[in-house]
């Protein structure tokens, strides 16, 4: 009898611990984005771009469903800027959605802003990008939402996972490209290359150093 009571007691404790651990499994994932000038070489030309933490694409953000994401954005660039969390359901956190002059004023140069929202009811790979002018061409990155801890995607664990971001590259300051089109009323200049994870493919001709156009980097 004594044993049974003890067992019941022990089971209750284990059940409580299990449900507690489910409750605490949602985490607060915190990151900083430093948006700044970066000079990079593409198509054999040096070009100043606006980038998060100096990388193109920007950092990959990884969360589990149910986590709260907190991103401090420091704008060291010369441009107004916001960040949009593309495809994220902003439930009761509409102010964190990002479109400039829709849910917030732009973050001015030299200022910062903290985005805070819970990632709920969705899994998979989305992306984040600047939601001001054409800065999104270089200010973007992957946002990977894994299932809640203890849950799995509905397919076998892959051998390896690689985020692939398809983009476009201009041999120009993209803000100038946009402003020129706005001023003239004509279509903006076409991009000079399509890119995979920020790199033009092997078929783009380049007169100088091969290393800078054959390399595809996976972040
Ligand atoms: C961005 O750079 C800052 C400063 O080096 C660093 O503290 C931060 O962790 C970086 N953020 C990401 C998301 O990698
Ligand atoms: C950043 O780049 C822009 C565009 O090329 C330039 O106008 C600005 O002076 C640069 N700012 C800094 C701090 O280097
Ligand atoms: C930059 O953002 C501020 C508010 O954050 C706004 O007053 C100003 O008009 C914006 N500038 C441009 C060029 O959009
Ligand atoms: C757009 O293309 C035209 C024609 O090639 C060029 O003269 C102009 O400088 C380009 N604009 C920008 C902002 O790069
Ligand atoms: C090629 O890229 C590397 C790394 O980004 C850089 O250090 C080097 O200067 C580049 N070479 C040329 C010829 O642009």
Q: Where along the chain do its domains lie?
A: 27-148
17-28 pLDDT tens trace: 444 445 557 899
Do 45 and 57 meet the contact criterion of CB atoms below 8 Å apart? no
55, β-bridge pairs? 52
38-75 pLDDT tens trace: 999 888 889 999 999 999 999 999 999 999 999 999 99
Mutate to test the pocket of ligand 2, among 34, 35, 37 (most ligand atoms within 8 A of CB): 37
Mutate to test the pocket of ligand 5, among 49, 198, 212 (most ligand atoms within 8 A of CB): 212
Sign for the CA dihedral angle at 121, 124, 129, 131 comes to negative
Name the band, by pLDDT with cuts 50, 70 and 90, for residue 206: low
The residue that leads in pLDDT, 202 or 46, is 46
Q: Which atom of ligand 5 is nearest to the CA of 46?
A: 14
152-168 pLDDT tens trace: 999 998 999 999 999 99
Mutate to test the pocket of ligand 1, among 53, 77, 112, 143 (most ligand atoms within 8 A of CB): 53
Token pair 């092997």 is found at 202
- 74 C-alpha vs ligand 5 centroid, how far in Å? 27
Q: Is the CB of 54 under 6 A from ligand 1?
A: no
Nearest ligand by distance to the CA of 33: 1
pLDDT above 80 (res 172): yes
DSSP 141: E
pLDDT above 60 (res 81): yes
| Residue 123: strand, helix, or coil | coil
Do 139 and 129 meet the contact criterion of CB atoms below 8 Å apart? yes
- 83 C-alpha vs ligand 1 centroid, how far in Å? 16
pLDDT above 90 (res 219): no
- 72 C-alpha vs ligand 5 centroid, how far in Å? 31
Q: Residue 34: what pLDDT?
A: 98
Fold of 27-148: Immunoglobulin-like (2.60.40)
Do 33 and 52 meet the contact criterion of CB atoms below 8 Å apart? yes
Q: Residue 73: what pLDDT?
A: 98
Q: Which atom of ligand 4 is nearest to the CA of 172?
A: 14
Q: Residue 167: what pLDDT?
A: 95
100-150 pLDDT tens trace: 999 999 999 999 999 999 999 999 999 999 998 899 999 999 999 999 989
């Amino acid at each position: 009898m004594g044993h049974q009571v003890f067992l019941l007691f022990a089971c209750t404790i284990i059940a409580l611990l299990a449900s507690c651990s489910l409750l605490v499994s949602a985490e607060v994932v915190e990151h900083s984005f430093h948006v700044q000038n970066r000079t990079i070489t593409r198509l054999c030309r040096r070009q100043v771009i606006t980038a998060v933490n100096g990388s193109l694409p920007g950092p990959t953000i990884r969360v589990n469903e149910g986590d709260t994401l907190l991103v401090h954005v420091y704008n060291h660039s010369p441009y107004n800027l916001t960040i949009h969390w593309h495809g994220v359901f902003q439930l009761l956190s509409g102010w964190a959605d990002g479109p400039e002059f829709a849910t917030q004023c732009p973050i001015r140069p030299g200022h910062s802003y903290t985005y805070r929202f819970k990632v709920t009811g969705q899994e998979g790979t989305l992306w984040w990008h600047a939601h001001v002018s054409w800065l999104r061409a270089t200010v973007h990155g992957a946002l990977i939402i894994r299932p809640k801890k203890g849950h799995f995607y509905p397919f076998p664990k892959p051998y390896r996972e690689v985020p692939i971001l398809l983009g476009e590259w201009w041999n120009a300051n993209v803000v100038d490209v946009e402003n020129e089109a706005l001023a003239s009323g004509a279509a903006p200049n076409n991009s000079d290359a399509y890119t995979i994870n920020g790199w033009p493919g092997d078929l783009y001709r380049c007169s100088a150093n091969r290393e800078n156009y054959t390399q595809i980097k996976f972040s």
